[in-house]
Amino acid sequence: MSKSTKLWGGRFSEGISDVAHRFSSSIALDGKLWREDIRGSIAHARMLGERSIITKEEASAIIAGLEDVALEIESGAFQFNDSMEDVHLAIEQRLTEKIGAVGGKLHTGRSRNDQIATDERLYLKRAIPVLFNNASEVIRELLIKAEEYIDAIMPGYTHLQRAQPVLLAHHLLAYVEMFARDRERLAGVLSRVDRSPLGAAAFAGTSYPIDREMTAKEIGFGTTLGNSIDAVSDRDYLIELASTCSIIMMHLSRMAEELILWSTREFGFVTMSDAVTTGSSIMPQKKNPDMAELIRGKVGRVYGALINLLTTMKGLPLAYNRDMQEDKQPMFDAIETTGDSLEMMALILRETRFNISKMESAASGELMATEIADYLVRAKGVPFREAHHITGKIVSFAEDAGKDLDQLTLNDYRVFSEHFEQDIFEYLDPRRSLAEKRSAGSSNPDMVTEAIRKMESGIKPIITAIEYNCS
């Protein structure tokens, strides 16, 4: 082996083996963070000059050199390759090639440990608002469908068994609530990401008179992290984001599962357009809901990212350990998969038509059993437990007779209770059932209409993605 040529190689008499280099190189992943790395480096260089740690002329040369490197990377004139160890050293080496030894002064008062934590947090400050707005698009499409089908009735389910009639709009609004909470979680993660670790150095801080508040402000952070060890040695911000992405994917998967079921001939509740379905290579009649199935399938990748991060961090002593290099792949995969899945679900909703007549025909019959019990309780004063028992007997009788509840005669009903009168049949109308709902948040048509109005006023994006140009 030859003498080490690494920027950190002064302590070493021999170079790292090729196998070790390939095994430890992270450039294939952290190369994606070059914009963030250069942005942080420019802020650091400017602060070094302002604090007279280096001269202002040296700081200006470094900043100009970094801007040139950014242009080279953007244009493809300078490309990362497998010979490079990581994004930080690759950029610093290129900078030194361009401006000479003064490029080596850029690393004064900092470490790759606080660099990478800064890069990741800056990346999340760009990525989280995109996810937030992707979720907003899903909410918007759900609200459009809810308004379009505001009068449509469908069977509500528990245990995947028909339970009670509800408005389709009310069902869709349940998902709106879920994704609204997901947006709140994303906003919460962003507030905790918005703290600068730059200046923590390796883990103990630095003896140079740096100004952490200055660099935090210039980069766009709201504040700084208070403890230098914590600043470089935790990845809870990635774990929290992966957890939030996992919850989003779980919500997407549940919706995808329902759309898949509803698109079958057995349900027939929805028809998806050709834009989001595929065919079979041997069965010409098939129209497969593949995009919804892929959303459902990709959940495992995001769950895996969360478990990956949790497992990586669970046994690490303070402070930085090289294990933490393994945080990039799950970070990128969770963000990209969740963003793509949200975008796809918005398109699926846009390209889906609900079959109103099929849904409404399924929202009658046995689904009115609860209304019969409520009739006995509200109109006739029968204790609920007794009313429930009577109604169960009626449902069993109707099933044996092969009839729906509205096909039974008044005499049939009176076999089970003398309380039944002709007005029982008024209670067997699904629309009356919905109109009778009085509790807040229920499927009452007026309440659903008002809920749509309120939700529409709250879907405007409240987070703006951070845009920056390093050149």
Active site residue 88: no
Tell me which of 17, 191, 280, 361 is the catalytic residue. Answer: 280
Nearest to 128 by CA among 253, 249, 250, 241: 241
Annotated catalytic residue, options 75, 159, 281, 439: 159
* Rounded Cα–Cα distance for residues 367 and 297 (Å): 33
The Cα–Cα gap between 277 and 347 comes to 11
Residue 426: partners with Cβ closer than 8 Å, 6 or more residues away: 432
Q: Tokens 């244009």 correspond to what residue?
A: 75
Based on the number of CB atoms within 10 Å of its own CB, is 17 exposed (0-12), middle (13-18) or buried (19 or more)?
Answer: exposed
Which residues fall within 8 angstroms of residue 174, CB to CB, at 6 or more apart?
none
Whether 374 contacts 162, CB under 8 Å:
no
Query: Whose structure tokens read 């779980």?
Result: 250
Which residue is it, tokens 């096909």?
Answer: 407
Residue 317 tokens, joined: 């002593």
d(CA 315, CA 326): 14
Q: Is 419 a catalytic residue?
A: no
Q: What is the DSSP letter of 320?
A: -
Helix axis angle, 445-456 relative to 112-148, nearest 10°? 140
φ/ψ (deg, to 5) at 230:
-60, -40
Count of positions (residues) in the chain:
471
Contacts of 381 (CB under 8 A, 6+ apart): none
225: left (phi over 0), alpha (psi -120 to 50) or beta: beta
Task: Determine which helix (DSSP H) or strand (DSSP E) holds 166, and give its type and residue range.
Answer: strand 161-167
Nearest to 371 by CA among 409, 425, 326, 444: 425
Show Cβ contacts of residue 191 under 8 Å, excluding neighbours closer than 6 positions: 222
Cα 188 from Cα 192, distance rounded (Å):
7
Name the residue among 381, 384, 409, 386 with its Cα closest to residue 397: 409
> Tokens 């698009």 — which residue?
137
248 contact partners, CB below 8 Å, separation of at least 6: 131, 135, 179, 182, 338, 341, 342
Scanning 351-375, the segments in alpha helix (DSSP H) are 356-361, 369-374
Catalytic center residues: 159, 280
